[in-house]
Structure 1
Amino acid sequence: MKRFFRPLLKNRNLLIGTIMVLIVILIALLADVIAPYKFDDANLNNQLESPSSNFLFGTDEFGRDLFSRVLYGSRISLRVAVLAALIEITIGVTLGLLSGYYGGTTDRIISFFADLTWSMPPIIMSMAVITVLGKGLDNVIIAIAIVSWAQYARIVRAKTQSLKNMAFVETAVAFNERDLSIMLRYILPNILPSIIVLASLSIPATIMSTTALSFLGLGAQPPSPDWGLALSSSMKNIS
């Protein structure tokens, strides 16, 4: 635990990212308690109300309370961020371990695809993937994972290359332990703190990407309370 909290307290960006994630988690968990209305409660008599004591953020064109929709929308953002993180961590860590441990042709092939992924703007690449797969949050999760796995692979690869030459790993090799066992028992546990740190920083970025893609009409679809969709639908009411 100390190995995780020490860099957390020293790195301001990491601390801010972690706090943002915790705030979103707290809001998502307490949405039913905090929200004064259901996200889909419509009342045409309350169309486009200004912020007031009854409607803290005002209402949309259907008379729905925007504050409540923002609170419920946090659940969507958190779900996408967590699922995308799990997928990209699984892919990135697996390929990073293989690349760093075996080197040679395996390393060159994986590094090539990682560099290829990093060579394109993430939002453009995500849009291209969604264009192929189709609109929807499930495809947004896949697109973000495809775009983001390389950052985990790079870090894990570098750490693995360093650790595989350590005495405890060489001892395991000398005792003819299987490669998979060495990677999982001796290398991965020593990389885990770095993976947790990176995940804490990447989840807020994933939430921003999800919001941007939904704003462009590629993610959540009406009547979802997704943040990006709420921004997009409100644009026509701005004069």
Structure 2
Amino acid sequence: MPKIKTKHKKKWRPLLKNRNLIIGLIMVLIVVMVALLADVIAPARFDDAHMDNQLEAPSSRFLFGTDEFGRDLFSRVVYGSRISLRVALLAALIEISLGVTLGLMAGFYGGAIDRITSFFADLTWSMPPIIMSMAVITVLGKGLDNVIIAIAIVSWAQYARIVRAKTQSLKNMAFVETAIAFNERDVSIMLRYILPNILPSVIVLASLSIPATIMSTTALSFLGLGAQPPSPDWGLALSSSMKNISNAPWLAIYPGIALVFTVFGFNLLGEGIRDLLDPRLRMR
């Protein structure tokens, strides 16, 4: 029994020593719980307006104060967490699916598929992400759904590049060549033998790119291209606060704190996952 306990302790030791992972996970879980329980936590709906309560300072009645329409800012910040998580997760899902699929095909087949994928990946990376996102939204129109599409279009290339390079390397390994010799289907080889070996790298990249996605969403909403009123989006809240920043600074302070807390939490979580899954970093 003591030997079994020792083995379990050794398995958990890298995890327990990973402070970034633990702190980041706690912070992200707080944001997730706030988003899930928004209807319970928030004292009012995010769009409940009371003009007689305009620009009330933070107090016991209004914890974060109110905005220019008399809406409870605490409720809007709480509901805003749902938007940030929704956009981040949906954009990540789309860009991972697109990038991994194209990267696998480019690395496995090579030839024209590889050249076309590499061309569009290089084209995507040749422009600043925020500029390209703005260009996509200009074509598709304003709104959060189009922000998700724009971010996915801008971000898929980073996954495709990594997956392509690793697929090219794994394709020459003995276990893959054996599967090819036994005439296994290409899709089966990619899913059974190649994808499991590149999955840790994809997970690390996804965890590190989520903070950038949240910041991009905030920036686009701040510029008026993302969420539209009366959405409780944090970027829109920061944009709206600018006209009253001198006499009602809380309008920018609390959404800003929520944004920094969320991004910092995901950053720590991403770094922790990277340290845990990347053997080279773990040995340092």
TM-score, structure 1 length as denominator?
A: 0.91
- Given candidates 99, 109, 112, the residue that maps to 2:106 is 99
Asked if the contact 1:140/1:210 (under 8 Å) is kept, the reply is yes
Question: What is the CA deviation profile of residues 187-215 of structure 1, one whole-angstrom value per residue up to 9, with x for unaligned ones?
Answer: 11111122122111112211111111111
- What amino acid sits opposite 2:50 in the alignment? N
- What amino acid sits opposite 1:60 in the alignment? D
- Give the match for residue 139 of structure 2: 132
Shift of 1:23: 3.5
Query: Is 1:26–2:33 an aligned residue pair?
Result: yes
Query: Is 1:235–2:245 an aligned residue pair?
Result: no
- Give the match for residue 187 of structure 1: 194
The 5 A counterparts of 1:1-239 are: 12=20, 21-239=28-246
- What amino acid sits opposite 2:182 in the alignment? F
Question: What is the CA deviation profile of residues 28-78 of structure 1, one whole-angstrom value per residue up to 9, with x for unaligned ones?
Answer: 112122212221222112111111222222110011111110110111111
**Structure 2 Cα separation of the partners of residues 229 and 180 of structure 1:** 44
CA distance 1:17–1:212, shift in 2 (3 Å): farther
**Structure 2 Cα separation of the partners of residues 17 and 108 of structure 1:** 39
Between the aligned residues of both structures, percent identity stands at 86
- What amino acid sits opposite 2:65 in the alignment? G
Shift of 1:26: 2.0
- Name the SS of the counterpart of 2:230 in structure 1: coil
User: Gaps (5+ residues) in structure 2?
Assistant: 1-10, 247-284
- Supply the RMSD in Å over aligned alpha carbons: 2.3
- Name the SS of the counterpart of 2:244 in structure 1: coil
Which moved further from structure 2: 58-67 or 104-113? 104-113
Shift of 1:90: 0.8
Q: Which runs of 4+ in 1 moved over 3 A?
A: 5-12, 14-23
How many residues are paired up? 236
- What amino acid sits opposite 1:236 in the alignment? K
**Structure 2 Cα separation of the partners of residues 173 and 77 of structure 1:** 44
- What amino acid sits opposite 1:157 in the alignment? R
Shift of 1:79: 1.1
Asked if the contact 1:17/1:204 (under 8 Å) is kept, the reply is no
User: Gaps (5+ residues) in structure 1?
Assistant: none
Which moved further from structure 2: 103-112 or 121-130? 103-112
CA distance 1:126–1:51, shift in 2 (3 Å): same
Question: What is the CA deviation profile of residues 151-182 of structure 1, one whole-angstrom value per residue up to 9, with x for unaligned ones?
Answer: 11111112111211111111100101111110
**Structure 2 Cα separation of the partners of residues 41 and 204 of structure 1:** 30
CA distance 1:116–1:208, shift in 2 (3 Å): same
**Structure 2 Cα separation of the partners of residues 97 and 235 of structure 1:** 46
TM-score, structure 2 length as denominator?
A: 0.77
CA distance 1:89–1:67, shift in 2 (3 Å): same
Larger radius of gyration: 2
